[in-house]
A and B are shown apart, each in its own frame.
Chain A
């Protein structure tokens, strides 16, 4: 069982592991989440000056969020765009699965078996948007994407760990109330015993600090934790007196790895409440871009050659067995770096060498259709239950309460070994595993689940990975090199941000490239060498 909260972690380890979930801002912290993109978080989006009759053509390779962002901004400024997409669909890793959708996983092709109903959809890729992701939210606002709240943290969800509570699921509400109680008690008692921080701390501070510890843990007047209604009542509490639940003993709480890992998930900057998600599925953002674009997106176009030319870029691609070549002033390349590494090109060797060293993000998500919204019978509406098994998480839909059926997220792991294990299974084995493991969280889980989809991102055709994996060393030596243009070729996508796996990274990478094109066009119009 290899799981990210297998062993107690230092804060640094914890943050670096959680960063794999696509939350690198937690690691970067106050250094500025977009330090290397040179665009402040609150900057207004790139404004390209209208070409005013000049003829400029841009080839955009890939119709995910970065490609769509670039196409939208370029079209508005009068650039001619050609958008080539290798797969059968638009959106990249913004993948909302519904009835009948084709899931193009190498070796495990599936057709989404969900019932045909508007509420039965599954965000197999991007799923949530924090409020400080102002780039993607800019497009949600200006293109009319309706948002709803999305919850990572729901106290009524469960934590399950075979090492604690006889493997029984425990409400997060109870676990956290007890954990805070004991922490509060320990804090209050060590403060009264004179254990001090290495900071100036007067009597008044001490008094306030003890009050804080009392409030933090909901301690009684003797600064002792004896249970709290924060954990919910064992019985009563509305028309009859509430009976408190017995606190679980601290050693038992500590046997669960929840306290060293997932309990703090929603503390991460990108994962903290309040989060948002588009109503009806994340692909509402893709559809919003498509409503604006006049350039048709050409599907099934697989790039086979990228050649820098003195005045532009030539790209050859395969479409239905035929080879075509297009030339343009600029090429915005959103193809995953690990695939560019296998495409014939005359890009600088050091530039391609960095691409071939980037790791392939391994992530697996499983979506399950439930006959009944059984979680609502357990007072759960939205949020995440956590388990130490490979499935790691169960998500409950934040939308369409009380409808007949619903789609659960039945597994989501960003631990590479876990994702490898899921990848090695057939689709049916993955579903069986998700159901068997989910049964430890919800008894009778199996009888509620009708069908499901599984998406191993490292196996998805034309992607073969989810979010580039930069080592710290490679980031130092290679990030700026890849971020800079090679001739008139720009590599883009969330892979060229410090937010791999987030739409915000994709938007910002596009803005970064567009800002450079704008700079070069300005130079060109003044007659200078760009």
Chain B
């Protein structure tokens, strides 16, 4: 169906220029003017995420590992976009994200969270995500430090309730889901996120291309 559609679009050359977005600037509509994330759209900060992780998540959306659940309106938004992109366009988009200069993020502190308790809970996270939340490419674990706290809360909840990590062929997602399920409640999620929030962003060292 998609192929037929593309042929049709190619025939309509007058509007072709409008349908092809140079430099994947589509990304910045949702993810913010420098891919720094946008709370209003619940779109994460992409600048801290290394190329391999961005690629992996495009795969996850295209494989229906993310965005499969009816109520996951935000996941479905990204899935719809991922489904219209071919491999070359995904690489273009990743390169485009790499070119965005980091911007300072607004700080929002959750005053009801217990950072010390969060630090204890984080013990089980650091084997994969690193002591500084820097991520680990070998283990396919993304960096966490520098990500928006509201996004981390949202994704821990998504793993916990099965919006992510619920597909048999999504092995990394399934592993993460088990850990998320070990967090007993919203307070535990808030606490561990508050601790991650206290870690300095390791963003600059993560940039794989200038």
Q: Which residues of A contact B (CB under 8 A)?
A: 86, 88, 100-102, 104, 106-109, 111, 302-305, 318, 320-321, 337-339, 341-344, 349, 352, 355-358, 360, 420-421, 423-424, 426, 428, 459, 461-462, 464
Contact bitstring B20-62, A, C-beta under 8 A = 1, else 0 = 0011011011111110111111010000000000000000000
Task: Kindly provide the distance from the CB of A514 to the nearest chain B CB, expressed in whole angstroms.
Answer: 27
Using Cβ atoms and an 8 Å threshold, which residues of chain B touch A100?
12, 14-15
Q: List 16 A-B contacts (CB under 8 A).
A: A100-B12, A102-B15, A106-B77, A107-B77, A111-B8, A304-B33, A320-B22, A339-B29, A342-B43, A343-B33, A344-B34, A344-B103, A355-B40, A356-B38, A420-B76, A461-B29
Contact of A344 with B14 in the complex, beta carbons under 8 Å? no
Using Cβ atoms and an 8 Å threshold, which residues of chain A touch B31?
342
Task: Kindly provide the distance from the CB of A516 to the nearest chain B CB, expressed in whole angstroms.
Answer: 25
Using Cβ atoms and an 8 Å threshold, which residues of chain A touch B80?
106-108, 423-424, 459
Using Cβ atoms and an 8 Å threshold, which residues of chain A touch B28?
302, 304, 318, 342
Task: Kindly provide the distance from the CB of B104 to the nearest chain A CB, expressed in whole angstroms.
Answer: 9
- In the complex, which range does the number of interface residues on chain B fall in? 35 or more
Using Cβ atoms and an 8 Å threshold, which residues of chain A touch B81?
106-107
CB nearest neighbor in B for A349: B106
Contact of A342 with B73 in the complex, beta carbons under 8 Å? no
- Further contacts, 13 of them, CB under 8 A, given A86-B29, A321-B23, A339-B38: A107-B82, A107-B83, A107-B84, A304-B34, A321-B25, A342-B31, A344-B36, A344-B103, A352-B106, A355-B40, A356-B39, A420-B70, A420-B76
**A343 to B77 alpha-carbon distance, docked (Å):** 20
**A352 to B105 alpha-carbon distance, docked (Å):** 13
In the assembled complex, B18 has its CB within 8 A of some CB on chain A: yes
Contact of B18 with A88 in the complex, beta carbons under 8 Å? yes
Task: Kindly provide the distance from the CB of B153 to the nearest chain A CB, expressed in whole angstroms.
Answer: 15
In the assembled complex, B9 has its CB within 8 A of some CB on chain A: yes
Contact of B19 with A302 in the complex, beta carbons under 8 Å? no
A337's partner among B14, B26, B40, B83 (CB-CB below 8 A) is: B40
In the assembled complex, B1 has its CB within 8 A of some CB on chain A: yes
5 pairs of A and B residues whose beta carbons are closest in the complex: A107-B80, A342-B38, A342-B32, A338-B40, A304-B33
Task: Kindly provide the distance from the CB of B127 to the nearest chain A CB, expressed in whole angstroms.
Answer: 33
Using Cβ atoms and an 8 Å threshold, which residues of chain B touch A355?
40
**A357 to B70 alpha-carbon distance, docked (Å):** 23
Using Cβ atoms and an 8 Å threshold, which residues of chain B touch A459?
77, 80
The A-B contact count (CB < 8 A) is: 110
Task: Kindly provide the distance from the CB of B80 to the nearest chain A CB, expressed in whole angstroms.
Answer: 3
Given contacts A109-B19, A342-B32, A424-B76, contact A464 B84 (CB under 8 A): no
**A428 to B8 alpha-carbon distance, docked (Å):** 14
Contact of A111 with B36 in the complex, beta carbons under 8 Å? no
**A424 to B69 alpha-carbon distance, docked (Å):** 10
Contact of A426 with B39 in the complex, beta carbons under 8 Å? no
Using Cβ atoms and an 8 Å threshold, which residues of chain B touch A305?
33
Task: Kindly provide the distance from the CB of B97 to the nearest chain A CB, expressed in whole angstroms.
Answer: 14
Contact of A462 with B40 in the complex, beta carbons under 8 Å? no
Contact of A461 with B22 in the complex, beta carbons under 8 Å? no
Interface residues of B in 73-127 (CB under 8 A from A): 73, 76-77, 79-84, 103, 106
**A473 to B31 alpha-carbon distance, docked (Å):** 27
**A43 to B84 alpha-carbon distance, docked (Å):** 49
Task: Kindly provide the distance from the CB of B1 to the nearest chain A CB, expressed in whole angstroms.
Answer: 6
Task: Kindly provide the distance from the CB of A447 to the nearest chain B CB, expressed in whole angstroms.
Answer: 22
A461's partner among B14, B26, B32, B103 (CB-CB below 8 A) is: B26
Contact of B19 with A341 in the complex, beta carbons under 8 Å? no
Task: Kindly provide the distance from the CB of B105 to the nearest chain A CB, expressed in whole angstroms.
Answer: 10
Contact of B34 with A423 in the complex, beta carbons under 8 Å? no
Contact of A318 with B25 in the complex, beta carbons under 8 Å? yes
Given contacts A106-B81, A321-B23, contact A341 B38 (CB under 8 A): yes
Using Cβ atoms and an 8 Å threshold, which residues of chain B touch A360?
40-41
Contact of A428 with B40 in the complex, beta carbons under 8 Å? no
Task: Kindly provide the distance from the CB of B18 to the nearest chain A CB, expressed in whole angstroms.
Answer: 4
Using Cβ atoms and an 8 Å threshold, which residues of chain A touch B30?
106, 342, 464
B15's partner among A111, A352, A423 (CB-CB below 8 A) is: A111
Contact of B15 with A343 in the complex, beta carbons under 8 Å? no
Contact of B41 with A342 in the complex, beta carbons under 8 Å? yes
Using Cβ atoms and an 8 Å threshold, which residues of chain B touch A344?
32-34, 36, 103
Contact of B22 with A321 in the complex, beta carbons under 8 Å? yes
**A338 to B23 alpha-carbon distance, docked (Å):** 22
Task: Kindly provide the distance from the CB of B159 to the nearest chain A CB, expressed in whole angstroms.
Answer: 21
Using Cβ atoms and an 8 Å threshold, which residues of chain A touch B77?
106-107, 423, 459
Using Cβ atoms and an 8 Å threshold, which residues of chain A touch B84?
107-109
**A101 to B83 alpha-carbon distance, docked (Å):** 22
CB nearest neighbor in A for B16: A102
Using Cβ atoms and an 8 Å threshold, which residues of chain B touch A102?
15, 18-19
CB nearest neighbor in B for A343: B33
**A107 to B30 alpha-carbon distance, docked (Å):** 12
Using Cβ atoms and an 8 Å threshold, which residues of chain A touch B32?
342-344
Given contacts A107-B80, A349-B106, contact A342 B40 (CB under 8 A): yes
Using Cβ atoms and an 8 Å threshold, which residues of chain A touch B103?
344
Highest count of chain A CB atoms <10 Å: which of B31, B33, B82: B33
**A50 to B30 alpha-carbon distance, docked (Å):** 40
